Amino acid sequence: MPAVKETIDQVKEIDLEKYKYGFETDIKSDKAPKGLSEDIVRFISAKKDEPEWMLEWRLDAYKRWLTMDEPDWAKLDYPKIDFNDIYFYSAPKSTPGPKSLDEVDPDLLETYKKLGIPLSEQAVLAGVEGAKIAVDAVFDSVSVVTTFREELAKSGIIFCSISEAIKEHPDLIKKYLGSVVPVTDNYYSTLNCAVFTDGSFVYIPKGVRCPMELSTYFRINEKNTGQFERTLIIAEEDTYVSYLEGCTAPMRDENQLHAAVVELVALENAEIKYSTVQNWYPGNKEGVGGIYNFVTKRGDCRGDNSKISWTQVETGSAITWKYPSCILRGDGSRGEFYSIAISNGYQQIDSGTKMIHLGKNTSSKVIAKGIAAGFSDNTYRGLISAHKKAKNARNFTQCDSLLIGDKCGAHTIPYIEAKNSSVIFEHEATTSKISDEQMFYCQQRGLNEEEAVALIVNGFVRDVLQHLPMEFMVETQKLINISLEGSVG
């Protein structure tokens, strides 16, 4: 057998087990008892030392959740989740809440170092390009540290964990939490309202352009732990902020649940750019383990001429159920969704966006690139709707799917609703395969099969890649290559 074939077979052998972030950190943790009940909700709230109104809000959500049913409309197939077999709260014992860097457990810092996340402000400041990124690091259920807070505070920006914001900025929380994604929006978001543990909070005051990228890094470490993070970003009039989100988890045989809610509010002339690189553990090559990722992300372009742009790179998770959306309420507001969704092994993705045009002269753009390999299933599901009053609403949607091999599936499910006649909605969709001719051509020039696939896929996603912040682009290209390892042959 030729040497290269052999190498490819070896790579296939390790396949998804090569998941780069699959180490676990041995840290004592402080956990709530397994399962879900009113007491657990009270426990979480008490652990966080929350005010009474917050507890009431959670308990109300919990009661409503009990009356709801798990949605089954997505093209996903998984056994019923036993919510009593999950820990809803886990915190590293040494770090019950955010601290300054010197107080953070060195083991934790080491973990983030391994992940390539700079938590030391010095290290970032010493960086060659001087590109600063402020980071909020969330480990299991709690935020362990937020960097660059003081520097941001100088321009009036608040960047902290949501737990802190609940205590320090109750007026903002009361005004905005649940104002974009209502408590009873859907099964998982309602669950999140009851048991969310931590996440990030960002507030950009009027007239401020955030001087650096803000970023949150989520890591699930504990076994059988659910992660329910909650992120809220408020951009006042005439502001700009770019926010990055990254996620990883160790390799586990059991499935872990992740059900986040992200709410964005953009007031007049504000722009929010939200980028995600999601690389939760996808399960092994037989499809055992991996994260169930049920996420509700929504942005509200509340003010005129505001803009919200979602860019996502989805490579991880056993199951992804996620539709970052924009409510285009303000006149002239704009929504964008750029997505790269890669599935390999037995991963299942049902993802897309909703662009809800309510205001006049609103526009939206959707570019979604789905890549399916192995035995995976990759569905784009998108809704574009225009209200009666949304005169001259415009949308352009382009959905491209690329299949690698013949055991995977790609599907495009667009929903379009136009309630007035002045709208222009355009939709283009393509499905293609990497052809044998393309593979042979690349190989004739010296690229091996894996390199050839990676190059062709990178070309396929180029239109989306260029919307990522520079710092993320190179990382993402590498991630794409890793995610597709073992996809050929």
Binding site for other proteins (CB under 8 A): 2-5, 435-438, 440-449, 451-452, 455-456, 458-463
Q: How far is the CB of 461 from other proteins (least distance, A)?
A: 7
Q: How far is the CB of 487 from other proteins (least distance, A)?
A: 17
The smaller minimum CB distance to other proteins, of residues 80 and 445, is found at 445
Q: How far is the CB of 464 from other proteins (least distance, A)?
A: 10
Q: How far is the CB of 454 from other proteins (least distance, A)?
A: 9
Q: How far is the CB of 408 from other proteins (least distance, A)?
A: 20
How far is CA 379 from each of CA 116, 213, 280, 352, 374, rounded to the nearest angstrom?
31, 31, 18, 8, 15
Q: How far is the CB of 488 from other proteins (least distance, A)?
A: 12
Q: Which two tokens stand for residue 183?
A: 């408590």
The CA dihedral of 86, 89, 94, 95, to the nearest 10 degrees, is 140
Contacts of 315 (CB under 8 A, 6+ apart): 277, 278, 279, 282, 342, 479, 480, 482, 483
The answer to whether the beta carbons of residues 87 and 226 sit under 8 Å apart is: yes
Count CB neighbours of 312 within 10 A. Answer: 25
The smaller minimum CB distance to other proteins, of residues 2 and 79, is found at 2
The smaller minimum CB distance to other proteins, of residues 18 and 462, is found at 462
Contacts of 246 (CB under 8 A, 6+ apart): 117, 215, 216, 217, 218, 276, 277, 278, 279
Q: What are phi and psi of 253, to 5 degrees?
A: -75, -35
The smaller minimum CB distance to other proteins, of residues 5 and 419, is found at 5
The answer to whether the beta carbons of residues 380 and 343 sit under 8 Å apart is: no
Apex CA 118: angle with CA 115 and CA 123, to 5°?
Answer: 140
Q: How far is the CB of 113 from other proteins (least distance, A)?
A: 26
Q: How far is the CB of 32 from other proteins (least distance, A)?
A: 48
The smaller minimum CB distance to other proteins, of residues 5 and 28, is found at 5
Q: How far is the CB of 224 from other proteins (least distance, A)?
A: 41
Q: What is the DSSP secondary-structure string of 336-376?
A: EEEEEEEE-TT-EEEEEEEEEE-STT-EEEEEEEEEE-TT-
Q: How far is the CB of 450 from other proteins (least distance, A)?
A: 10
The smaller minimum CB distance to other proteins, of residues 234 and 453, is found at 453
How far is CA 140 from each of CA 250, 256, 473, rounded to the nearest angstrom?
11, 11, 26
The smaller minimum CB distance to other proteins, of residues 78 and 441, is found at 441
The smaller minimum CB distance to other proteins, of residues 150 and 437, is found at 437
Closest CA relative to residue 230, chosen from 258, 251, 268: 258
The smaller minimum CB distance to other proteins, of residues 210 and 461, is found at 461
In angstroms, the CA 238 to CA 208 distance is 7
The smaller minimum CB distance to other proteins, of residues 106 and 446, is found at 446
The smaller minimum CB distance to other proteins, of residues 416 and 455, is found at 455
The smaller minimum CB distance to other proteins, of residues 53 and 440, is found at 440
Contacts of 231 (CB under 8 A, 6+ apart): 162, 199, 200, 201, 202, 216, 245, 260, 261, 262, 263
Q: What is residue 261's three-state secondary structure?
A: strand
Q: How far is the CB of 323 from other proteins (least distance, A)?
A: 26
Q: How far is the CB of 452 from other proteins (least distance, A)?
A: 8
Apex CA 390: angle with CA 177 and CA 243, to 5°?
Answer: 40
Return the exposure string of 65-82: e unless at least 16 CB atoms fall within 10 Å of the residue's CB, then b.
Answer: beeeeeeeebebeeeebe
- Report the side by side order of strands in the sheet with 271-278: 142-146, 133-139, 213-219, 240-248, 271-278, 307-314, 334-343, 363-372, 394-403, 424-433
